[in-house]
Copies of this chain bind each other. A is one copy, B any other.
Amino acid sequence: MGLIVQKFGGTSVATPEKIHAACRKAIAAQERGNQVVVVVSAMGDTTDDLIELAQKVCQYNAIQTIPPKREMDQLLVTGEQVTIALMAMGIHAQGHQAISFTGGQIGLITDSVFSKARIQSINKQRIFEQLHAGKIVIIAGFQGITEDGDYTTLGRGGSNATLVAVGAVLKADVCENFTDVDGIYTADPRIVKNARKIDRISYDEMLELSGLGASVLQTRAVEFAKKYNVPLHVRNSAHDGEGTWIVAENPNMEHIVVSGAALKKDLTRVTLKGVPDRPGIAARVFGEIAAANIVVDDIIQNVMDDNTANVSFTVEHGELNDLKSVVEKLLKELGGNAKAAYQGDLSKVSVVGVGMRVHTGVAQRMFGALAGAGINIQNITTSEIKISCIIRKEDGPKALQLVHDAFELEKTR
Protein backbone atom coordinates (compact mmCIF):
# COMPACT_ATOMS: atom_id res chain seq x y z
CA MET A 1 0.00 0.00 0.00
CA GLY A 2 1.62 3.18 -1.11
CA LEU A 3 2.33 5.42 -4.03
CA ILE A 4 4.28 3.92 -6.91
CA VAL A 5 5.64 5.76 -9.92
CA GLN A 6 6.41 3.41 -12.81
CA LYS A 7 8.31 4.30 -15.92
CA PHE A 8 8.26 2.36 -19.17
CA GLY A 9 11.04 3.11 -21.62
CA GLY A 10 10.71 3.15 -25.39
CA THR A 11 11.41 -0.54 -25.92
CA SER A 12 8.81 -1.44 -23.26
CA VAL A 13 6.05 0.41 -25.16
CA ALA A 14 7.26 -0.23 -28.71
CA THR A 15 4.13 -2.07 -29.93
CA PRO A 16 0.41 -2.16 -29.06
CA GLU A 17 1.06 -5.54 -27.43
CA LYS A 18 3.84 -4.17 -25.25
CA ILE A 19 1.70 -1.19 -24.32
CA HIS A 20 -0.97 -3.65 -23.24
CA ALA A 21 1.60 -5.49 -21.11
CA ALA A 22 2.66 -2.19 -19.53
CA CYS A 23 -1.00 -1.38 -18.81
CA ARG A 24 -1.36 -4.75 -17.04
CA LYS A 25 1.66 -3.95 -14.85
CA ALA A 26 0.18 -0.62 -13.84
CA ILE A 27 -3.20 -2.23 -13.13
CA ALA A 28 -1.56 -5.03 -11.12
CA ALA A 29 0.21 -2.45 -8.98
CA GLN A 30 -3.08 -0.64 -8.38
CA GLU A 31 -4.85 -3.90 -7.55
CA ARG A 32 -2.24 -4.53 -4.87
CA GLY A 33 -3.64 -1.42 -3.21
CA ASN A 34 -1.27 1.25 -4.47
CA GLN A 35 -1.85 4.61 -6.05
CA VAL A 36 -0.12 4.39 -9.42
CA VAL A 37 1.48 7.02 -11.63
CA VAL A 38 3.05 5.94 -14.92
CA VAL A 39 5.70 7.85 -16.88
CA VAL A 40 6.24 6.75 -20.48
CA SER A 41 8.70 7.34 -23.28
CA ALA A 42 7.98 7.49 -27.00
CA MET A 43 7.26 4.14 -28.65
CA GLY A 44 10.32 2.29 -29.90
CA ASP A 45 12.15 4.25 -32.59
CA THR A 46 9.59 7.07 -32.78
CA THR A 47 12.03 9.77 -31.70
CA ASP A 48 14.66 8.66 -34.22
CA ASP A 49 12.01 8.48 -36.95
CA LEU A 50 10.89 12.03 -36.18
CA ILE A 51 14.47 13.29 -36.30
CA GLU A 52 14.94 11.57 -39.68
CA LEU A 53 11.74 13.17 -40.96
CA ALA A 54 13.05 16.57 -39.88
CA GLN A 55 16.33 15.97 -41.68
CA LYS A 56 14.47 15.08 -44.87
CA VAL A 57 12.37 18.23 -44.72
CA CYS A 58 15.52 20.34 -44.22
CA GLN A 59 17.46 18.89 -47.15
CA TYR A 60 15.88 20.68 -50.13
CA ASN A 61 18.31 23.32 -51.47
CA ALA A 62 18.79 24.25 -47.87
CA ILE A 63 20.56 27.40 -46.78
CA GLN A 64 20.70 26.21 -43.18
CA THR A 65 20.27 22.49 -42.49
CA ILE A 66 20.26 22.50 -38.69
CA PRO A 67 16.67 23.02 -37.52
CA PRO A 68 15.87 25.51 -34.76
CA LYS A 69 15.98 23.68 -31.41
CA ARG A 70 12.60 25.07 -30.38
CA GLU A 71 10.99 23.46 -33.43
CA MET A 72 12.84 20.19 -32.89
CA ASP A 73 11.39 20.05 -29.36
CA GLN A 74 7.95 21.01 -30.70
CA LEU A 75 8.31 17.96 -32.96
CA LEU A 76 9.78 15.46 -30.51
CA VAL A 77 7.34 15.95 -27.63
CA THR A 78 4.63 14.42 -29.81
CA GLY A 79 6.29 11.01 -29.40
CA GLU A 80 5.51 10.70 -25.69
CA GLN A 81 2.10 12.30 -26.13
CA VAL A 82 1.11 9.43 -28.44
CA THR A 83 2.18 6.88 -25.83
CA ILE A 84 0.35 8.48 -22.88
CA ALA A 85 -2.93 8.57 -24.80
CA LEU A 86 -2.53 4.94 -25.87
CA MET A 87 -1.65 3.85 -22.30
CA ALA A 88 -4.73 5.59 -20.91
CA MET A 89 -6.89 3.93 -23.58
CA GLY A 90 -5.31 0.54 -22.90
CA ILE A 91 -6.05 0.80 -19.18
CA HIS A 92 -9.59 1.98 -19.90
CA ALA A 93 -10.10 -1.01 -22.23
CA GLN A 94 -9.26 -3.26 -19.28
CA GLY A 95 -12.07 -1.69 -17.27
CA HIS A 96 -9.89 0.57 -15.12
CA GLN A 97 -9.76 4.34 -15.00
CA ALA A 98 -6.84 6.32 -16.31
CA ILE A 99 -6.04 9.84 -17.45
CA SER A 100 -3.07 11.05 -19.44
CA PHE A 101 -1.14 14.29 -19.02
CA THR A 102 1.57 15.91 -21.12
CA GLY A 103 4.42 17.63 -19.32
CA GLY A 104 2.62 20.91 -19.85
CA GLN A 105 -0.65 19.60 -18.44
CA ILE A 106 0.93 18.82 -15.06
CA GLY A 107 2.75 22.14 -15.09
CA LEU A 108 6.15 20.54 -15.51
CA ILE A 109 7.93 23.85 -15.94
CA THR A 110 11.48 23.89 -17.29
CA ASP A 111 14.01 26.52 -18.25
CA SER A 112 14.06 27.33 -21.96
CA VAL A 113 17.24 25.49 -22.93
CA PHE A 114 15.63 23.59 -25.78
CA SER A 115 16.80 19.97 -26.28
CA LYS A 116 18.25 19.76 -22.76
CA ALA A 117 15.96 21.67 -20.49
CA ARG A 118 16.03 21.40 -16.69
CA ILE A 119 12.94 20.77 -14.60
CA GLN A 120 12.08 23.70 -12.33
CA SER A 121 8.75 22.69 -10.83
CA ILE A 122 5.81 20.31 -11.10
CA ASN A 123 2.23 21.10 -10.10
CA LYS A 124 1.34 18.01 -8.10
CA GLN A 125 -2.23 19.16 -7.41
CA ARG A 126 -3.68 17.86 -10.67
CA ILE A 127 -1.97 14.49 -10.24
CA PHE A 128 -3.23 14.02 -6.67
CA GLU A 129 -6.80 14.94 -7.65
CA GLN A 130 -6.85 12.18 -10.23
CA LEU A 131 -5.16 9.63 -7.95
CA HIS A 132 -7.73 10.36 -5.25
CA ALA A 133 -10.46 9.79 -7.83
CA GLY A 134 -9.10 6.27 -8.27
CA LYS A 135 -7.39 6.83 -11.60
CA ILE A 136 -4.05 5.64 -12.85
CA VAL A 137 -2.26 8.79 -13.95
CA ILE A 138 -0.15 8.59 -17.12
CA ILE A 139 2.50 11.27 -17.63
CA ALA A 140 4.62 12.00 -20.70
CA GLY A 141 8.31 11.64 -19.92
CA PHE A 142 11.19 13.58 -21.49
CA GLN A 143 9.20 16.79 -21.85
CA GLY A 144 8.18 19.99 -20.17
CA ILE A 145 6.94 23.44 -20.94
CA THR A 146 8.47 26.87 -20.40
CA GLU A 147 6.77 29.71 -18.57
CA ASP A 148 5.94 31.07 -22.06
CA GLY A 149 4.22 27.84 -23.13
CA ASP A 150 6.97 26.54 -25.43
CA TYR A 151 7.55 22.79 -25.32
CA THR A 152 10.96 21.58 -24.20
CA THR A 153 12.69 18.23 -24.03
CA LEU A 154 14.92 17.14 -21.18
CA GLY A 155 17.79 15.64 -23.18
CA ARG A 156 19.05 12.11 -23.23
CA GLY A 157 17.38 9.95 -20.58
CA GLY A 158 14.87 12.69 -19.96
CA SER A 159 12.10 10.22 -19.19
CA ASN A 160 14.08 9.01 -16.20
CA ALA A 161 14.45 12.59 -15.04
CA THR A 162 10.65 12.88 -15.25
CA LEU A 163 10.22 9.59 -13.35
CA VAL A 164 12.35 10.72 -10.45
CA ALA A 165 11.10 14.30 -10.39
CA VAL A 166 7.49 13.10 -10.28
CA GLY A 167 8.42 10.53 -7.62
CA ALA A 168 10.07 13.25 -5.57
CA VAL A 169 7.22 15.79 -5.66
CA LEU A 170 4.64 13.10 -4.91
CA LYS A 171 6.89 11.61 -2.17
CA ALA A 172 6.51 8.20 -3.83
CA ASP A 173 7.41 5.04 -1.97
CA VAL A 174 9.29 3.73 -4.96
CA CYS A 175 10.10 4.69 -8.55
CA GLU A 176 10.09 1.62 -10.76
CA ASN A 177 12.10 2.02 -13.93
CA PHE A 178 10.90 -0.70 -16.32
CA THR A 179 13.29 -1.33 -19.15
CA ASP A 180 14.53 -4.13 -21.41
CA VAL A 181 17.35 -5.27 -19.12
CA ASP A 182 17.21 -7.02 -15.76
CA GLY A 183 18.88 -4.19 -13.84
CA ILE A 184 22.27 -2.58 -13.30
CA TYR A 185 25.22 -4.85 -14.07
CA THR A 186 28.76 -4.91 -12.74
CA ALA A 187 29.72 -3.94 -16.30
CA ASP A 188 28.01 -3.67 -19.68
CA PRO A 189 27.01 -7.31 -20.35
CA ARG A 190 27.29 -6.76 -24.08
CA ILE A 191 31.04 -6.32 -23.54
CA VAL A 192 31.73 -8.35 -20.39
CA LYS A 193 29.98 -11.70 -20.80
CA ASN A 194 30.26 -12.70 -17.15
CA ALA A 195 28.93 -9.38 -15.84
CA ARG A 196 26.55 -9.86 -12.89
CA LYS A 197 23.31 -8.09 -11.99
CA ILE A 198 23.72 -5.93 -8.88
CA ASP A 199 20.92 -6.30 -6.29
CA ARG A 200 21.47 -3.08 -4.36
CA ILE A 201 23.66 -0.10 -5.05
CA SER A 202 23.98 3.30 -3.40
CA TYR A 203 22.97 6.56 -5.07
CA ASP A 204 26.58 7.73 -5.09
CA GLU A 205 27.87 4.61 -6.76
CA MET A 206 25.10 4.76 -9.33
CA LEU A 207 25.87 8.43 -9.90
CA GLU A 208 29.46 7.63 -10.70
CA LEU A 209 28.54 4.69 -12.92
CA SER A 210 25.96 6.75 -14.82
CA GLY A 211 28.43 9.55 -15.39
CA LEU A 212 30.97 7.03 -16.59
CA GLY A 213 28.91 5.47 -19.32
CA ALA A 214 26.45 3.01 -17.73
CA SER A 215 23.49 3.95 -19.88
CA VAL A 216 20.49 2.55 -18.00
CA LEU A 217 20.12 5.56 -15.73
CA GLN A 218 21.39 9.05 -16.33
CA THR A 219 23.29 11.09 -13.78
CA ARG A 220 20.56 13.68 -13.50
CA ALA A 221 17.89 11.17 -12.57
CA VAL A 222 20.08 9.60 -9.91
CA GLU A 223 21.07 12.99 -8.48
CA PHE A 224 17.43 13.85 -8.09
CA ALA A 225 16.60 10.49 -6.51
CA LYS A 226 19.42 10.97 -4.02
CA LYS A 227 18.48 14.54 -3.19
CA TYR A 228 14.89 13.56 -2.41
CA ASN A 229 15.76 10.08 -1.12
CA VAL A 230 13.43 8.29 -3.56
CA PRO A 231 14.22 4.57 -3.85
CA LEU A 232 14.71 3.59 -7.50
CA HIS A 233 14.05 0.08 -8.74
CA VAL A 234 15.43 -0.72 -12.21
CA ARG A 235 13.70 -3.82 -13.55
CA ASN A 236 12.77 -5.74 -16.69
CA SER A 237 9.32 -5.13 -18.16
CA ALA A 238 9.34 -8.61 -19.69
CA HIS A 239 9.00 -10.44 -16.33
CA ASP A 240 8.21 -9.87 -12.65
CA GLY A 241 11.67 -10.61 -11.24
CA GLU A 242 13.43 -8.14 -8.97
CA GLY A 243 15.95 -5.86 -10.63
CA THR A 244 18.44 -3.50 -9.03
CA TRP A 245 17.50 -1.23 -6.12
CA ILE A 246 19.23 2.12 -5.96
CA VAL A 247 18.97 3.38 -2.41
CA ALA A 248 20.64 5.47 0.26
CA GLU A 249 24.03 4.23 1.35
CA ASN A 250 24.22 2.04 4.44
CA PRO A 251 27.28 0.86 6.41
CA ASN A 252 27.10 -2.69 4.99
CA MET A 253 27.83 -1.40 1.54
CA GLU A 254 31.42 -0.54 2.47
CA HIS A 255 32.29 -4.23 2.64
CA ILE A 256 32.22 -4.27 -1.14
CA VAL A 257 35.35 -2.57 -2.43
CA VAL A 258 34.27 -2.23 -6.06
CA SER A 259 30.59 -2.44 -7.06
CA GLY A 260 30.92 -2.02 -10.79
CA ALA A 261 33.05 -1.05 -13.73
CA ALA A 262 32.15 1.11 -16.70
CA LEU A 263 33.44 2.09 -20.08
CA LYS A 264 32.74 5.47 -21.63
CA LYS A 265 33.42 5.66 -25.34
CA ASP A 266 33.97 8.35 -27.95
CA LEU A 267 35.78 10.90 -25.85
CA THR A 268 38.00 13.67 -27.12
CA ARG A 269 40.67 15.25 -24.95
CA VAL A 270 41.01 18.98 -25.34
CA THR A 271 44.21 20.65 -24.22
CA LEU A 272 44.51 24.42 -23.95
CA LYS A 273 48.20 25.30 -23.98
CA GLY A 274 49.82 28.57 -23.01
CA VAL A 275 46.90 29.83 -20.96
CA PRO A 276 47.96 32.83 -18.78
CA ASP A 277 48.42 31.54 -15.20
CA ARG A 278 46.26 34.14 -13.50
CA PRO A 279 43.64 33.64 -10.80
CA GLY A 280 40.19 33.25 -12.26
CA ILE A 281 41.26 31.98 -15.65
CA ALA A 282 40.09 28.39 -15.04
CA ALA A 283 36.76 29.68 -13.70
CA ARG A 284 36.37 31.78 -16.82
CA VAL A 285 37.25 28.92 -19.20
CA PHE A 286 34.89 26.43 -17.60
CA GLY A 287 32.27 29.07 -16.96
CA GLU A 288 32.00 29.84 -20.66
CA ILE A 289 31.86 26.15 -21.52
CA ALA A 290 29.17 25.51 -18.92
CA ALA A 291 27.20 28.50 -20.21
CA ALA A 292 27.06 26.69 -23.56
CA ASN A 293 25.63 23.64 -21.75
CA ILE A 294 28.61 21.46 -22.62
CA VAL A 295 29.64 18.85 -20.07
CA VAL A 296 33.38 18.44 -19.52
CA ASP A 297 35.17 15.93 -17.34
CA ASP A 298 38.64 14.74 -16.31
CA ILE A 299 40.02 18.22 -15.87
CA ILE A 300 43.77 18.48 -15.30
CA GLN A 301 45.77 21.70 -14.98
CA ASN A 302 49.56 22.00 -14.97
CA VAL A 303 51.48 25.23 -14.48
CA MET A 304 54.50 25.60 -16.79
CA ASP A 305 57.77 27.40 -16.16
CA ASP A 306 56.87 30.38 -18.37
CA ASN A 307 53.97 31.45 -16.15
CA THR A 308 51.39 29.82 -18.40
CA ALA A 309 49.23 26.80 -17.70
CA ASN A 310 48.09 23.80 -19.70
CA VAL A 311 44.48 22.91 -19.07
CA SER A 312 43.13 19.63 -20.39
CA PHE A 313 39.74 17.98 -20.14
CA THR A 314 37.55 15.51 -22.01
CA VAL A 315 34.25 15.99 -23.81
CA GLU A 316 31.98 13.52 -25.52
CA HIS A 317 32.55 13.42 -29.23
CA GLY A 318 29.01 14.66 -29.90
CA GLU A 319 29.71 17.92 -28.05
CA LEU A 320 32.87 18.68 -30.00
CA ASN A 321 31.41 21.05 -32.60
CA ASP A 322 29.64 23.15 -29.99
CA LEU A 323 32.78 23.14 -27.86
CA LYS A 324 35.12 24.20 -30.65
CA SER A 325 33.23 27.41 -31.27
CA VAL A 326 33.35 28.26 -27.56
CA VAL A 327 37.06 27.48 -27.41
CA GLU A 328 37.88 29.59 -30.48
CA LYS A 329 36.14 32.53 -28.88
CA LEU A 330 37.92 31.96 -25.56
CA LEU A 331 41.36 31.77 -27.14
CA LYS A 332 40.84 35.09 -28.89
CA GLU A 333 39.83 36.74 -25.64
CA LEU A 334 42.67 35.18 -23.64
CA GLY A 335 45.14 36.49 -26.21
CA GLY A 336 48.86 35.70 -26.08
CA ASN A 337 50.00 32.36 -27.38
CA ALA A 338 47.11 30.24 -26.12
CA LYS A 339 46.36 27.33 -28.43
CA ALA A 340 44.03 24.35 -28.43
CA ALA A 341 44.85 20.75 -29.29
CA TYR A 342 42.31 17.97 -29.74
CA GLN A 343 42.95 14.25 -29.34
CA GLY A 344 40.05 12.00 -30.36
CA ASP A 345 39.38 8.25 -30.28
CA LEU A 346 39.71 7.92 -26.53
CA SER A 347 37.75 5.90 -23.98
CA LYS A 348 37.61 5.86 -20.22
CA VAL A 349 37.52 2.74 -18.08
CA SER A 350 36.47 3.20 -14.45
CA VAL A 351 35.78 1.27 -11.28
CA VAL A 352 33.32 2.48 -8.65
CA GLY A 353 32.63 1.47 -5.07
CA VAL A 354 31.94 3.14 -1.72
CA GLY A 355 34.28 0.54 -0.21
CA MET A 356 37.23 2.49 -1.64
CA ARG A 357 36.82 4.91 1.23
CA VAL A 358 38.00 2.28 3.69
CA HIS A 359 40.02 -0.15 1.56
CA THR A 360 43.44 0.54 0.08
CA GLY A 361 45.26 -0.82 -2.94
CA VAL A 362 42.38 -0.38 -5.37
CA ALA A 363 44.25 1.93 -7.76
CA GLN A 364 47.26 -0.34 -7.73
CA ARG A 365 45.18 -3.39 -8.62
CA MET A 366 43.49 -1.56 -11.49
CA PHE A 367 46.68 -0.08 -12.95
CA GLY A 368 48.36 -3.46 -12.64
CA ALA A 369 45.62 -5.21 -14.59
CA LEU A 370 45.86 -2.72 -17.45
CA ALA A 371 49.68 -2.59 -17.46
CA GLY A 372 49.85 -6.38 -17.49
CA ALA A 373 48.02 -6.38 -20.82
CA GLY A 374 50.17 -3.61 -22.27
CA ILE A 375 47.38 -1.00 -22.20
CA ASN A 376 48.75 2.52 -21.93
CA ILE A 377 47.03 4.83 -19.45
CA GLN A 378 46.97 8.38 -20.82
CA ASN A 379 45.36 10.10 -17.91
CA ILE A 380 44.10 9.21 -14.44
CA THR A 381 41.38 10.91 -12.42
CA THR A 382 40.01 9.78 -9.09
CA SER A 383 37.24 10.63 -6.67
CA GLU A 384 36.54 9.28 -3.23
CA ILE A 385 34.66 6.31 -4.70
CA LYS A 386 36.00 5.88 -8.26
CA ILE A 387 39.15 5.57 -10.31
CA SER A 388 39.14 6.39 -14.03
CA CYS A 389 41.78 5.81 -16.67
CA ILE A 390 41.73 7.41 -20.10
CA ILE A 391 42.90 4.90 -22.69
CA ARG A 392 42.84 4.48 -26.44
CA LYS A 393 39.39 3.71 -27.75
CA GLU A 394 40.56 0.46 -29.34
CA ASP A 395 41.69 -0.87 -25.94
CA GLY A 396 38.32 -0.14 -24.30
CA PRO A 397 36.44 -3.47 -24.32
CA LYS A 398 39.53 -5.45 -23.35
CA ALA A 399 40.32 -3.01 -20.53
CA LEU A 400 36.79 -3.30 -19.15
CA GLN A 401 37.02 -7.10 -19.05
CA LEU A 402 40.48 -6.97 -17.42
CA VAL A 403 39.30 -4.64 -14.68
CA HIS A 404 36.13 -6.71 -14.14
CA ASP A 405 38.29 -9.82 -13.75
CA ALA A 406 40.80 -8.09 -11.48
CA PHE A 407 38.12 -7.24 -8.92
CA GLU A 408 36.22 -10.53 -9.42
CA LEU A 409 33.00 -8.59 -10.02
CA GLU A 410 31.26 -11.69 -11.43
CA LYS A 411 31.16 -13.20 -7.93
CA THR A 412 28.12 -12.60 -5.74
CA ARG A 413 28.96 -10.81 -2.51
Interface residues of A (CB under 8 A from B): 16-17, 19-20, 50, 53-54, 56-65, 67-68, 70-72, 74-75, 77-78, 81-82, 84-86, 88-90, 92-95, 99-100, 102, 104-105, 149-150
A57:B104 contact, CB within 8 angstroms: no
Residues on B with C-beta less than 8 A from A93 are: 57-60, 62-65, 67
Residues on B with C-beta less than 8 A from A99 are: 70-71
For A50, A85, A150, the residue with the greatest tally of chain B CB atoms inside 10 Å of its CB is A85
Number of copies: 2
B84:A74 contact, CB within 8 angstroms: yes
A85:B72 contact, CB within 8 angstroms: yes
A71:B57 contact, CB within 8 angstroms: no
B67:A78 contact, CB within 8 angstroms: no
Residues on B with C-beta less than 8 A from A75 are: 81-82, 85-86, 89
Please report the C-alpha to C-alpha distance between residue A78 and residue B16 in the assembled complex, in whole angstroms.
18
B63:A89 contact, CB within 8 angstroms: no
B57:A90 contact, CB within 8 angstroms: yes
* Partner of A95 from B64, B68, B100 at Cβ < 8 Å: B64
Please report the C-alpha to C-alpha distance between residue A278 and residue B114 in the assembled complex, in whole angstroms.
64
Please report the C-alpha to C-alpha distance between residue A90 and residue B89 in the assembled complex, in whole angstroms.
34
B90:A74 contact, CB within 8 angstroms: no
Please report the C-alpha to C-alpha distance between residue A71 and residue B23 in the assembled complex, in whole angstroms.
15
A81:B88 contact, CB within 8 angstroms: no
